[in-house]
Amino acid sequence: MKRRLLVSDLGRESYVTVLELQRSLCRQRLAGELQDDVLLLVEHEPVVTLGRGTHPESLPLPAAELERRGIGVYDVERGGDVTFHGPGQLVGYPILNLRDHREDLHWYLRTLESALVSALASLGISAGVRPGLTGVWTQGRKIASIGIHVKQWITYHGFALNVSTDLSYFGLIVPCGISGVVMTSVGAELGRSDAQLGEEARLAVVQGLSAALDLAPFEANSVRA
């Protein structure tokens, strides 16, 4: 029997609230209080997060100016450069014990990319990766970003797939520190803006990640901090 992947859909929730939930779940995994792997799915209000690899030039506007525009700014422990989260974006935070999979961070990053590529294929979008860069691209445009943190082989932070995201927000930053990058979304690529698209993307991502990790998805009503 396959091990389970508990899938908890948090709806729209603040970045700080979900960050603290991730850290709590990580502690529970480390203490052996939580045995299952978990996938948190969420949509955030507009925020910019600065990973450990953020370069000053990746944030052209001062944090105070972004906050004046209603966009939160947070320094976090994940790898990578600056990124944006906001409405219309499907953000996934896998809380996994890599000792149950493979103790290899590069393998984990490639697995996340593969899962998203598979999910996009099921939605009718041909996507792939770019050598030397992390994330998922389609026709030269970036559609999903990845930034992780691992503590004693327990993962948190994760990925962000643009579904119906207002792409103009990315013009306020240098996404992932890549000059000239063009961001896109599932909706933009498919020419769709219907309400059903979000649910289709959610199901595709759950199926793609479950298959990539060889886990059985199990819908959990909630997970507790």
Written as six digits, the tokens of 176 are 């992932």
Q: Tokens 């698209």 label which residue?
A: 197
- Give the chain's radius of gyration (CA, Å): 16
C-alpha closest to that of 110 among 154, 146, 62: 146
How far apart are the C-alpha atoms of 134 and 113, rounded to whole Å? 8
d(CA 120, CA 109): 17
Helix (H, G, I), strand (E, B) or coil at 216: strand
Residues marked active site are found at 176
